Amino acid sequence: MARRLPHGLINWRYLQPGADEQVRLHRRLWWESGRRRPRALWCLGELWLWLRWVLAHGPLAAWRAVRRFGPEVAAREGIPLRRQHQRVLALALGWCIPPADVYRFRLYRLQVAPLDYVFDHETAAYHAWRSRPLGLRPASVALLQDKEALGRALEPLGIPVARTHAVAPLGDAITLSRRMDGLERVFCKSRSGNQGRGAFAAWRSAEGLAGRAFDGRALTDTALVEAAWRALVAADDTLLQPLLTNHPTLAPLAEGGDAITLRFISQWQGKDLTCLSATLEVPAGKHPRSGRPLYVILPIEPATGELRPFPDEALPDAEARARAHQLWGRVRHMGCLPGWPALAAASCRAHALFPDLWALAWDWVLTPDGPILLEGNTGWGVATVQMLQGGFLRSRN
């Protein structure tokens, strides 16, 4: 009930007989998101969320999005702010489409079909819908969510996974200082969490422990590191793993020495596994105003393992384009990424363990010793792939 949005798109056209295919698909995704709850109670909750969104959160979110992104669009594409606001508000209130996604997918342009896209609040239902015909099993999802168990399942296949030094149980009373006996640099993360929530790096210094949170916040002394540790073990079992370093070819690209992540998304196409998308995510410091971490994403050509520039039109502002251009100038002649053929083959080999899941995202770090797999994800975000390749629900799909 704390959500701002319903669990999918909502529109009166869902009640219209003979609705087109895309309307039916979005209606199905919305309806499928409540399959595990009592329908009457779930519908009442969705009605409450919809009313709250239409009457309060939606108009405010639309105004904020236009204020943030509108001037850049007006200068670059010549679309007046008033017309942008009308379009954003119509999609936000008429379909429950988040205003930030209107700009992310350039839906403010009338020639772009908004129903071509799967939005963030539909992602879980979309993954389940795509996997259900393959025989989706809860056990597969559970294995992917358990990072330690997944590593043990993949090691016999010869897939290089991040080694786990120790598993601290939920509520562990042992301090990180004691857990790190004999270790110099570690990365601490939840056993079953996602999006790096609560994760942090820690290392020994002359004064004790120091570290850096996943969100870029500096942990400058032992007290702050131990506080981050206590928060992590209070939420879930916690894994201590080596703090990985980047391959020498890539190391100069990352500010502060943060690990550069390569995401390889494998998918079933009939009986074959292929690459749906691959991207390199390079840390680029912090946002000068908000302080949040910044990243530059570079697409990878699956056939060759070579980097490609992110399309200018898909970047939100001049600052993002400047960062992308600067990085692209440094890597444009790099050629094939180190270890790419082995990484691609290992990703597909790992996915073969899950014939009931249509697409999985595998997060790797390219280290001096070769690619190391961090984890696999079944509920991966679909926004970046659609920004690069178009909406997943286009009629030609």
pLDDT at 119: 96
pTM for the structure as a whole: 0.92
Residue 267, SS3?
A: strand
Which one of 194, 210, 242 terminates a domain? Answer: 242
Q: What are the two backbone dihedrals, phi and then psi, of residue 123, each rounded to the nearest 5 degrees?
A: -60, -50
Residue 4 lies in a domain: no
CA separation for the pair 226, 177 (Å, rounded): 8
Last residue of a domain, one of 223, 242, 261: 242
- How many whole angstroms separate alpha carbon 190 and alpha carbon 199? 7
Q: Is 53 inside a domain boundary?
A: yes
Judge if 228 and 203 occupy the same domain.
Answer: yes
d(CA 261, CA 277): 14
Q: Do 225 and 365 fall into the same domain?
A: no
Nearest to 340 by CA among 307, 310, 308: 307
CA angle 295, 297, 300 (to 5 degrees): 155
State the 10-residue block means of pLDDT for the chain, 397 residues long. 88 88 94 89 94 95 95 93 96 96 93 93 95 96 94 94 93 94 93 82 92 87 95 94 94 84 96 96 77 86 96 85 93 94 97 97 96 94 94 75
pLDDT of residue 397: 43
Neighbour-count burial of 394, counting CB atoms closer than 10 A to its CB (0-12 exposed, 13-18 middle, 19+ buried): middle
Residue 308: inside a domain: yes
Strands 166-168 and 359-367: unpaired
314 is a domain residue: yes
- Locate all alpha helices (DSSP H) within 146-271, ordered by sequence: 147-154, 176-179, 222-233
pLDDT score recorded for residue 366:
97
- Identity of residue 114: P
**One domain, residues 57 and 180:** no
CA distance 103 to 84: 10
354 in the same domain as 265 = yes
* 209, part of any domain: yes
Q: Which helix (H) or strand (E) holds 318?
A: helix 318-331
- Spatial distance between the Cα atoms of 130 and 118, rounded to a whole number of angstroms: 12
Give the Cα separation of 96 and 101 in Å (integer). Answer: 11
Cα(216)–Cα(59) distance, integer angstroms: 32
Is the same domain home to 250 and 372?
Answer: yes
- pLDDT of res. 291: 63
C-alpha dist (Å) from residue 211 to 79, 106, 282, 291, 319: 45, 39, 19, 17, 28
Number of domains within the chain: 3
Interval 206-245: pLDDT, tens: 889 999 888 778 899 999 999 999 999 999 999 999 999 9
**Which of these three, 226, 242, 258, is where a domain ends?**
242
End-to-end Cα, the chain, rounded Å: 34
- Alpha-carbon distance values, 312 to 294, 309, 321 (Å): 17, 8, 6
For residue 115, being part of any structural domain is answered with: yes
Q: Are residues 144 and 198 in the same domain?
A: no
Contact assessment for residue 170 and residue 213, using Cβ atoms and an 8 Å cutoff: no
Q: Is residue 177 part of a domain?
A: yes
CA–CA separation, 12 and 118 (whole Å)? 19
Token pair for residue 201? 């790096």
Answer whether residue 21 is part of any domain.
yes
Q: Would you state the pLDDT for residue 303?
A: 95
Residues 221 and 364 in one domain: no
Instruction: Indicate if 117 and 155 belong to the same structural domain.
Output: no
**Closest to 358 in 3D by CA, of 120, 122, 133:** 133
Same domain, yes or no, for 147 and 273? Answer: yes
**Three-state SS for 263?**
strand
Same domain as 349, residue 265? yes
Distance CA 82, CA 244 (A): 49
Angle at alpha carbon of residue 151, lines to 149 and 155, rounded to 5°: 125
CATH number, position 281: 3.30.470.20
For 86, the domain range is: 12-131
- pLDDT per position as a tens digit, 92-137: 999 999 999 999 999 999 888 999 999 999 999 999 999 999 999 9
Give me the count of residues in the chain: 397
Cα separation, 221 vs 317, whole angstroms: 36
Instruction: Check whether residue 261 and residue 346 sit in a common domain.
Output: yes
Residue 119, C-beta contacts closer than 8 angstroms, at least 6 positions apart: 9, 97, 98, 101
Indicate if 144 and 289 belong to the same structural domain.
yes
